Structure 1
Amino acid sequence: MADQAVSPCPWHLPVWDALTAGSRHAHAFLFAGLPGVGKRLFAEAFAAHLLCLQPQSGRACGQCRSCHLRQAGSHPDRLVVEPEEQGKAIRIDAIRQLGDFMGQTAQQGGRKVIILHPAEAMNLNAANALLKSLEEPTSDTYLLLVSDQPSRLLPTIRSRCRVQPLVTPGHAEAMAWLQHSLPDLDAEQHGALLLMAGGAPLRAIALHEMDAASLRQQVVEGVKALLKNQQSASQLAERWPNLPLELLADWFCDWTLDLLRLKTGAMEAPVNTDMDKVLPYMARHLQLPALLNWQSWLLQHRGMLLGKANLNRVLFIETLLIQWKQLLERR
């Protein structure tokens, strides 16, 4: 029986079937797509397929010696390279370890596989060291890069990989998957999670596990209080000590997109229904140049957060909220 624990997501099966149909593969792959669409799961499943001694119907058998070692987390020919701490950089020492691993003979007499995730976390020295390994591939060794932001990789790294985009599923398929995965939630809750996740089902699961719906409700209530002069930006910044800044920036980006659509007449009601009173009011009273300037600032700082810039947390939240409120004051 195939190892179901490392099966790719159902919306990636057409790509999977095409990829595993042949016996010859590129020595380096770059699996790219939005966060939470299943790229790491795809890479893990492909690594299992490459290491399996007797794959069945394009999947790891789950029964051979190699599969048992992998399932136990002790396969000597499988290496995962990732940051030592979440959000930190992948440093050159880790890439040197990767290079040493590539130069070794496979202990199980078959293939060796390296999963590097997230690839964009490599600092410049690490990326340059990886480039040398890509330029000198070793036989039966496969490097699987996983990236949310492939544009942040060196062009020379991207050009030496087979780039395989992994798409986001359609809304109906994503909702059906969430209903199966989170049966205790109703369709409205599934839809809210999927909206926050940008349509990426695995990210929706992660948001549910961190209780993002409750965090977002706090932010929505805080923003409403801010606009009514019931709370100040500094007070709200102090009250959100555990709120991930990336989430906060994503939500304001979503609301800003709704504002642009409302202001230009592209739609009559906001997509973000938890702000269905606030956003139309703001769209009626703000000026488009001010909105565009605000969007530019927001996107710049969101990029800094994605790039793991060490921003002052309280100062960032205060500035964001002050500028948001000033949209209504810049006439």
Structure 2
Amino acid sequence: MSDDAAPQPERLDGAPHPRDALSLIGQDAAQTAFVDAFNTGRLHHAWMLTGPRGVGKATLAWLIARFLLATPAPDKGGMFAPEPPTTLIIPADHPVTQRVASGGEGRIRNVTRTINPTTKKLRQEIVADDIRALNGFFQMSAPDGGYRVVIIDDADLMNTTAANALLKMLEEPPARAVLILISHQPSGLLPTIRSRCRTLPLRTLEAAEVAEAMAQAGVQAANADALAALSGGSVGGAMRLSLLGGASLYAELVGLMSTLPHMDRPRALKLAELAASKGGEAKRDLLFTLIDLLLSRLARTGATGTSPQPQAAQGEADILKRLSPTPHQARVWADLAAGIGARARHGIAVNLDPAALVLDTFAKMAKAAPR
């Protein structure tokens, strides 16, 4: 089954697949570390790419996979040996790049969540069968005697049985195979898995880097600074916000907060109706994510005496300072964030009316605002 036909649960709707990116913005240190390991003959059989969501881990995994399949092993032939590679970048017209783009590169396996054959629904975790299926892949010889590459996206979703199956592979690594684990929370993985992988940490990006990476992915946004601030330096997060109108929705939230402690009820009703609209689950989830972010920025303002920069909406800094002028008020907002988050998760789980849940949240925020 090609990648196009297979489920792609970790792909953001409306954004290109990570395999289609031919370069990676802002992660030069991680790329250089891998190239150095390759050139010096210290290529580990398993690599763990770590860092926040959306900073380029999957893109780096596909860059590494193309590089390994397209680059000859280092030549020890002395002065006449070719120059060692200095980058992971493989040209767009290279046969490996073209096969990867078409989903026809048989030397790569991308392990993600799969469809449950009984329920016909996408599983919520990676199961043991998904990992054990790699045994047949490893038994096949690469046609050129080169590498075979497995990308597990994401490794955090493996259940216990799947993790144990992977551990066995890491303990007895197949010849000429490289496993790449993508992990957003490596502390949740088995210590024995972590210890058998070399870790490449990826960093959060600056606002200009987020804008550049979004443009590279074909997502144009005039409010890149706001998206970078809201996403915490995550390109994936910024793209999701852009595609769902997150910056304008956050601006509406900030505008509502400007009316506190006397909440503008028509404005609140408009936001509540958005969350309750048909097919509005994504907007509802985004709204609660942005509420949590706003409360976090309020708490940080009161605790530090300065508002977070850059501003994520016009006039945000003044509103945050007015509503969170002291460390005491910062604690009020932080405690409220914890309570609202728990109530929102419970309400969504038991299918409470989204509009009522949103309005109740706004009422609690109004009550917490300083008089």
With structure 2 as the length reference, what TM-score do the two structures score?
A: 0.71
CA 320–46 in structure 1, closer or farther in 2 if over 3 Å, else same: same
Q: Which residue does 2:67 correspond to in 1?
A: 49
Q: Which residue does 1:30 correspond to in 2?
A: 48
Q: Which residue does 1:14 correspond to in 2?
A: 29
CA distance in 2, matches of 1:53, 1:180: 24
Displacement of 1:194 in angstroms is: 1.5
Q: Which residue does 2:3 correspond to in 1?
A: none
Q: Is the Cα contact below 8 Å between 1:117 and 1:145 reproduced in 2?
A: yes
Superimposed CA distance per residue, residues 269-320 of structure 1 (whole angstroms, 9 cap, x where no aligned partner)? 8844357365444336985554332233356679x79xxx982454677556
Q: Is the Cα contact below 8 Å between 1:8 and 1:38 reproduced in 2?
A: no
Superimposed CA distance per residue, residues 201-240 of structure 1 (whole angstroms, 9 cap, x where no aligned partner)? 3432343233333444555567778933334697564248
Alignment of 1:247 onto 2:286: yes
CA distance in 1, matches of 2:220, 2:101: 29
Match for 2:364: what amino acid? Q
CA distance in 2, matches of 1:107, 1:301: 55
Equivalent residue for 1:100, pick from 136, 139, 159? 136
CA 39–145 in structure 1, closer or farther in 2 if over 3 Å, else same: same
Question: 1:291-302 maps to which residues of 2 (within 5 A)?
Answer: 291-298=333-340
CA 110–297 in structure 1, closer or farther in 2 if over 3 Å, else same: same
Q: Which residue does 1:150 correspond to in 2?
A: 186
Superimposed CA distance per residue, residues 170-204 of structure 1 (whole angstroms, 9 cap, x where no aligned partner)? 33444455567669643xx1112222221223432
Displacement of 1:73 in angstroms is: 1.8
Question: 1:120-135 maps to which residues of 2 (within 5 A)?
Answer: 120-135=156-171
CA distance in 1, matches of 2:171, 2:263: 56
Once the two structures are aligned, what percentage of the paired residues are identical? 25
Q: Is the Cα contact below 8 Å between 1:255 and 1:272 reproduced in 2?
A: no
Question: 1:1-331 maps to which residues of 2 (within 5 A)?
Answer: 6-21=21-36, 22=39, 23-54=41-72, 57-58=86-87, 59-60=89-90, 66-84=96-114, 88-178=124-214, 185-186=221-222, 189-217=223-251, 227-230=263-266, 231=268, 237-239=275-277, 241-244=280-283, 246-264=285-303, 266-267=305-306, 271-274=311-314, 276=316, 279-283=320-324, 287=329, 289-298=331-340, 311-312=349-350, 314=352, 318-319=356-357, 322-329=360-367
Moved more, 317-326 or 254-263: 317-326
CA distance in 2, matches of 1:160, 1:317: 48
Superimposed CA distance per residue, residues 40-60 of structure 1 (whole angstroms, 9 cap, x where no aligned partner)? 111101011111154854443
CA distance in 2, matches of 1:324, 1:115: 42
Q: CA RMSD in A?
A: 3.8
Superimposed CA distance per residue, residues 81-126 of structure 1 (whole angstroms, 9 cap, x where no aligned partner)? 0123778322222111123323433344211100110111222222
Q: Which structure 1 residue ranges, 5 or more long, are not aligned?
A: none
CA distance in 2, matches of 1:228, 1:255: 17
Q: Is the Cα contact below 8 Å between 1:171 and 1:199 reproduced in 2?
A: yes
